[in-house]
Amino acid sequence: QSVLTQPPSASETPGQTVTFSCSGSTSNIGTNTVNWYQHLPGTAPKLLIYDNNQRRSGVPDRFSGSKSGTSASLAISGLQSEDEADYYCATWDDSLNGWLFGGGTRLTVL
Amino acid sequence: QITLKESGPTLVKPTQTLTLTCTFSGMSLSTSEVAVGWIRQPPGKALEWLALIYWDDDKHYSPSLKSRLTITKDTAKNQVVLLMANMDPVDTATYYCARSIIDDYGDPRWFDPWGQGTLVTVSS
């Protein structure tokens, strides 16, 4: 069971906006920046958002990240079928002295 | 362009030691503020961080697996090697290596890019 909590699944129709949450604690999200990764099965995970809200070069501005306290969020607006994937949050944990990944949220575009 | 590629056995027997190699190009582990990490994903499960090695040979391990893991680097060959001892069927997973950027405070910031991953099955 991951220390970073993400809902296991989400679904939304094309064109709409979906938001994923990532809940942690003071030793991880509360202290360090959060990254978001997109993972399609059978492919390499891709960095979408770093430093809480910075889009990696080449990532559409439909993707946005935010952080407040010990929680972080990823929003995808104007949903497209190609956005169907697993989304993971990640951050460094000062107590564990290591990286943490959330359990991932599987997005279904209806 | 930075690329990383994982290599190693596709099948190992229980109790054996797994040796995985990450070979990269377009970057150097002799450059400060660079690190390489290993992350795995068991079938149907989430990503799990395993280990991280810095340009200066500093190392970090997942606390839950620390006793079984060894990470080393060969700067001349542009390779990072991960050893995982006493393999068990629950270690069946796709293993990824990825570059990490280290900030001025010595903290790792993100993993990018990632290799394509290599599936390792543990079975007798």
Nearest to A88 among B46, B52, B62 (CB): B46
Chain B residue numbers touching A50 (CB-CB < 8 A): 109-110, 112
CA distance B114 to chain A (A): 6
* CB-CB under 8 Å, A102 with B114: no
The residue-averaged pLDDT of B87-106 equals 94
Token representation of residue A40: 């399609």
Contact B83, B12 (CB under 8 A): no
Between the alpha carbon of residue A42 and those of residues A59, B25, B93, B115, the distances in Å are 20, 22, 12, 11
* CB-CB under 8 Å, A32 with B52: no
Token representation of residue A77: 């607006």
Widest CA span in chain A: 40
CA distance A17 to chain B (A): 24
Chain A residue numbers touching B114 (CB-CB < 8 A): 44-46
pLDDT above 60 for A11:
yes
* CB-CB under 8 Å, A99 with B37: yes
pLDDT 10s digits, A73-85 = 999 999 999 999 9
The residue-averaged pLDDT of A23-34 equals 95
A90 close to B (CB below 8 A): yes
Chain B residue numbers touching A97 (CB-CB < 8 A): 60, 63
* Ordered DSSP codes for A44-68: --EEEEETTTEEPTT--TTEEEEEE
Q: What pLDDT, on a 0 to 100 scale, did the predictor assign at position A2?
A: 57
> What is the distance between the alpha carbons of residues A107 and A74, in angstroms, rounded to a whole number?
12
pLDDT 10s digits, B5-54 = 999 999 999 999 999 999 999 999 988 889 999 999 999 999 999 999 99
Percent of chain B with pLDDT over 90: 90
CA distance B52 to chain A (A): 9
Nearest to A92 among B108, B115, B116 (CB): B108
As a residue count, chain B comes to 124
A24 close to B (CB below 8 A): no
Contact A37, A59 (CB under 8 A): no
Choose among B96, B93, B94, B83: nearest CA to B36: B96
Token representation of residue B51: 């280990």
The residue ranges of DSSP E strands in B15-107, in sequence order, are: 18-25, 34-41, 48-54, 59-61, 69-74, 79-84, 93-102
Map residue A85 onto helix, strand or coil.
Answer: coil
Q: What pLDDT, on a 0 to 100 scale, did the predictor assign at position A93?
A: 93
Percent of chain A with pLDDT over 90: 95
Pair type for strands B3-7 and A105-109: unpaired
| Sign of the C-alpha dihedral computed for residues A35, A41, A44 and A46 taken in this order | negative
* CB-CB under 8 Å, A99 with B114: no
pLDDT above 70 for A1:
no
CA distance A103 to chain B (A): 5
